[in-house]
Structure 1
Amino acid sequence: MKLSDELKSKNINFKNRIVMPPMATAKADKNGHVTEEILNYYEEKTENKLFSTVIIEHCFVDALGKASKNQTSIADDSTIDGMKKLAKLVKSNDSNVVLQISHAGSSTSEEVIGQQPVAPSAIKNPSKSTTEIPRELTVEEIEQIIEKFVDAAVRAKKAGFDGVEIHSAHGYLLNQFLSPITNKRTDEYGGDIDGRIKIHLEIIRKIREKVGENYPIFIRMGAGDYLEGRLSTEDSIYAAQEFVKAGVDVLDISGGMCMFSIDDQRAGFFDFLSKPIYENVNVPVILTGGVKTGEDVEDILNRGVCDLVGIGRSVFKDSNWIENEIKPLI
């Protein structure tokens, strides 16, 4: 497999195997609206026209799910006009553009949202240094959050994005439901893996119902926690398969409560998480992490662990990196 190879799937085609993963810029205004600074950032990163797909940084679906100051929002219709500009810009640079939608849950603070953070269970988030204990969500509140995700996906489609990515990694709310470390609920949204992914499946199915059969749905999945009591490999495979059955078109595999990095800094360091999923699903799998050279990308692609490679930090640090490292290989 070469990084220049095209990939065709049910609802989305990739002109090559290179993806720009979501990376927070903290460049939105105080209301989470797209700014000129954000537009300039994405123009600089994508003007090379080399990415097959660009996944825009996480956008909060609800004010209580805002992770940090100056995070981008997709929580109400006032955000759509700015998002239209962003989608149009990236598409003009010959890439698919996908919007990541998220809820921070306990991965935020009272300082940011003005009240006690919420979570599946009243348990400190191990992915954060904060000492705050979140408030456990009621079933009614969970149902409201599901609708917030659905509304956000509809806005993304209205704004012209080619797809939407549901954020369930890096210690955020949906990851908190998925992980047995942070989900100790005894009702329908907790317990075994079926209970812990109930919220995901309801979000996926409801989004699919609203956006139609042909609109791409990605999910970024925290497939492992690297902590005691973590999500098992068997459960991560099962969850991925259930997400696909519910309507997911692309699986974007990353870390869970261990966030987006581990001690192992080799290229594709989460391949031990993506490999068993890649071997057991029939949709494209994205893997991000540790890529420092173009040769790293082709090495990862030929390990049999993914279909597409995300290049984050190297591009974040140096906008010319992809021109220098990837263009000679295409």
Structure 2
Amino acid sequence: MPHLLEPLQIGSLTLSNRLVMPPMATSKAEPDGKVSQAILEYYNEKTAGGYLSLVIIEHSFVQQAGKASENQLSVADDSVIEGLKELAAVIQRNGAKAVVQINHAGSAADPAVTGVAPVGPSAVKNPRKGDIPHALTREEIGGIVADFRAAARRVKAAGFDGVEIHSAHGYFLNQFFSPLTNKRTDEYGGDVSGRIRIHLEVIAAVRAAVGQDFPIFIRLGAADYAEGGTTAADSQIAARAFAEAGVNVIDISGGFSGYVVPGNNEQGYFAPLSAAVKEVVAIPVILTGGITEVQAAEQLLAAGKADLIGVGRAIFQDSLWAQNAVNSIKQA
């Protein structure tokens, strides 16, 4: 079984260890979504010393209508590429690989931020936000898929090491995956294969934009933890399809539960979901969820729950966490 300091090869991508900083919104971008000095300083501080193998940059909007909040990073037009190049360079100079998470908020978007009415798979309330969105037509879905493609092209042009498609935490693609918000009766609804049709279209579009050798990650909200919502069994079907479609890494989190599991505070609380997905795919799986101690990270890897361990809040609160973790293993 792998241990935390073991390297991992993912296609063309070499990771120095199994420790990942998962995407966490900072709200430090410029008002127009461009990279700010504050964001550069934040990621420089978090990656100093080269103790993290991989950093997944916080969710970045693919179009203005999909912007989730003020001061969110943008990948929505070519004017952001120069700033993103600086961000990639800062992280890579510090010895980590850098991936950008691209997202559309769907019905979780705030009209006060976007200036337009929210959209989604169906005209039903978002369980996390309460807004009833406009139900997208097929043509409108195609437009959003094209925006994911363009965003991925920008991520590669800026020199990043990979791109992550966001389908978790009740955002746009997760809204299609979940029966709580997807009530469609066309080919984009119904069973799991219908509800992930848009995911497969986005994956194909992103792959067309970035080429065969550029790593594609997908963050999957693997269970809603709600009556009538998605389950681990649904996510096994989805994960298998994503792997067959050419995704290189699956990053496990929650669906409409967000990044928590109701009533569960143990370290690695998404482990049952990552383990279920690992059973059905041969590609690497990332586990996150309340991991604060290096011993817990090691145990989860040793138990085969995942291939990579994401430590979010602990690194957010303590920029030396990764350094201390790596050094404690080396000294053990």
TM-score (norm 2): 0.97
Report the counterpart of residue 139 of structure 2 in structure 1. Answer: 140
SS in 1 for 2:154: helix
Report the counterpart of residue 289 of structure 1 in structure 2. Answer: 289
Report the counterpart of residue 113 of structure 1 in structure 2. Answer: 114
After TM superposition, give the deviation of residue 9 of structure 1 in Å: 2.7
Q: Find the aligned partners of 2:119 and 2:57 in 1 and give their Cα distance.
A: 25
After superposition, give the CA deviation of every residue in 1:302-326 in whole Å (9 maximum; x if it has no partner): 2211000001000001112222233
After TM superposition, give the deviation of residue 40 of structure 1 in Å: 0.3
Report the counterpart of residue 151 of structure 1 in structure 2. Answer: 150
Amino acid at match of 2:104: H
After TM superposition, give the deviation of residue 127 of structure 1 in Å: 2.4
Asked if the contact 2:182–2:189 (Cα under 8 Å) also holds between the matched residues in 1, the reply is yes
Report the counterpart of residue 277 of structure 2 in structure 1. Answer: 277
Q: Find the aligned partners of 2:205 and 2:321 in 1 and give their Cα distance.
A: 39
Report the counterpart of residue 228 of structure 2 in structure 1. Answer: 229
| 1:188-227 mapped onto 2 (5 Å cutoff) | 188-227=187-226
After TM superposition, give the deviation of residue 205 of structure 1 in Å: 1.0
Structure 2 unaligned regions, length at least 5: none
Amino acid at match of 2:54: T
SS in 2 for 1:58: strand
After TM superposition, give the deviation of residue 115 of structure 1 in Å: 2.1
Asked if the contact 2:5–2:326 (Cα under 8 Å) also holds between the matched residues in 1, the reply is no
Q: Find the aligned partners of 1:239 and 1:111 in 2 and give their Cα distance.
A: 33
Asked if the contact 1:50–1:327 (Cα under 8 Å) also holds between the matched residues in 2, the reply is no
Q: Find the aligned partners of 2:185 and 2:282 in 1 and give their Cα distance.
A: 32
Asked if the contact 1:218–1:248 (Cα under 8 Å) also holds between the matched residues in 2, the reply is yes
After TM superposition, give the deviation of residue 327 of structure 1 in Å: 2.5
| 1:58-73 mapped onto 2 (5 Å cutoff) | 58-73=59-74
TM-score (norm 1): 0.97
Report the counterpart of residue 24 of structure 1 in structure 2. Answer: 25
Q: Find the aligned partners of 2:131 and 2:251 in 1 and give their Cα distance.
A: 29
Q: Find the aligned partners of 2:66 and 2:42 in 1 and give their Cα distance.
A: 24
After superposition, give the CA deviation of every residue in 1:84-113 in whole Å (9 maximum; x if it has no partner): 000011000111100100000011221111
Count, aligned residues: 328
After TM superposition, give the deviation of residue 33 of structure 1 in Å: 0.3
SS in 2 for 1:185: coil
Structure 1 unaligned regions, length at least 5: none
Amino acid at match of 2:86: K
Asked if the contact 2:254–2:270 (Cα under 8 Å) also holds between the matched residues in 1, the reply is yes
Amino acid at match of 1:8: Q
Asked if the contact 1:15–1:52 (Cα under 8 Å) also holds between the matched residues in 2, the reply is yes
| 1:167-186 mapped onto 2 (5 Å cutoff) | 167-186=166-185
SS in 1 for 2:52: coil
Asked if the contact 1:11–1:249 (Cα under 8 Å) also holds between the matched residues in 2, the reply is no
Report the counterpart of residue 124 of structure 1 in structure 2. Answer: 125
SS in 2 for 1:40: helix
Report the counterpart of residue 161 of structure 1 in structure 2. Answer: 160
After TM superposition, give the deviation of residue 114 of structure 1 in Å: 1.4
Q: Find the aligned partners of 1:276 and 1:240 in 2 and give their Cα distance.
A: 10
Report the counterpart of residue 310 of structure 1 in structure 2. Answer: 310
Q: Find the aligned partners of 2:183 and 2:176 in 1 and give their Cα distance.
A: 9
Asked if the contact 1:268–1:290 (Cα under 8 Å) also holds between the matched residues in 2, the reply is yes
* Percentage identity across paired residues of the two chains: 52
Amino acid at match of 1:302: A
Q: Find the aligned partners of 1:193 and 1:11 in 2 and give their Cα distance.
A: 31
Q: Find the aligned partners of 1:16 and 1:322 in 2 and give their Cα distance.
A: 11
Q: Find the aligned partners of 2:85 and 2:171 in 1 and give their Cα distance.
A: 26
Q: Find the aligned partners of 2:165 and 2:216 in 1 and give their Cα distance.
A: 8
